[in-house]
Amino acid sequence: MKKMSFWLLLFGSCVLLLSCGDEEMRVEAAPEEAQEPAAEDVFELALIQRVYPAQYFPDVVVVQKDVPVKFYITTIQQEHQNKVSVEPFFVTTEPVVPGKTRATLFTPAQAGTFTIRNLGHGFTGELFVAETAQQVKEKRVEKGFQEFSLLYSAERLYPQRVIVQKDVPVKLYNIGLREEHEVRLEPFLQTLQTVTPNDVTTFEFVPDELGTFIIRDETFNQTAELIVEPGVLANATPVRPKGEVAVVWSRMKVRY
């Protein structure tokens, strides 16, 4: 009887162990959380908002469908309501205030033209989502020039990379978030230029060389890249911005 009880007890223990093991196998793994795209896969853009007079710099922002975008937004005037929306993609969770940036990461899943809207005052800009990289390049030079914004802080420049097309005039809108910055961009800007907070300083130049060039903040030793790629438009004429301080430089080639 004792032998039989022993074997029954052993058999029962084996069945219990097998049962427990089988239950473990049936437990489903928890779903993985969605991962943010790697930094090198995100296209960074900056946007400057001015309330009086109402304007966005640039007033048309061009991106590519299904490519993640990181928007850095700042404003010049302090207002009670400076939230920004681009429906159906995003609404800033907090008001945009001077001296700081609001960073918004989104992926435009639809092609077309969408409205950048200041929710407190109602003025607008335009977000154009192109189907292809070629359409992005074509849209960016549609005005006869290409325009981008650059935000300066003591910690870094926003964005870290500006991509332009060769031989197409560039308007680069600059603003210091909190301090003044002395800026150099050789060979296109050959002398130091002052970028200030609470104002937009516009650099105009024609990038006539292919390659990667350094936008250098000499005051705080911060840098960003200007990448000049082959363009789709030639012989465009630079247009001076109205109502803004414009610093226009042209490179002179001297023959001996």
Q: What is the CATH number of domain 36-131?
A: 2.60.40.420
- For residue 21, give both structure tokens: 């093991």
User: How many Å apart are CA 233 and CA 168, to the nearest integer?
Assistant: 7
For 145-203, the pLDDT digits (tens) are: 999 999 999 999 999 999 999 999 999 999 999 999 999 999 998 889 999 998 999 99
User: How many Å apart are CA 162 and CA 160, to the nearest integer?
Assistant: 7
With beta carbons less than 8 A apart as the criterion, state whether 114 and 87 touch: yes
> Do 141-250 and 36-131 have the same topology in CATH?
yes
pTM: 0.77
The helix or strand, by DSSP H or E, that contains position 194, with its residue range, turns out to be strand 189-195
For 145-160, the pLDDT digits (tens) are: 999 999 999 999 999 9
User: How many Å apart are CA 75 and CA 136, to the nearest integer?
Assistant: 26
With beta carbons less than 8 A apart as the criterion, state whether 51 and 118 touch: yes
For 85-133, the pLDDT digits (tens) are: 999 999 988 888 899 999 999 999 999 999 999 888 888 999 999 999 9
Contacts of 216 by beta carbon, 8 Å cutoff, 6+ apart: 183, 184, 185, 222, 223
Q: Where are the domains of the chain?
A: 36-131, 141-250
Check whether domain 141-250 has CATH 2.60.40.420, yes or no: yes
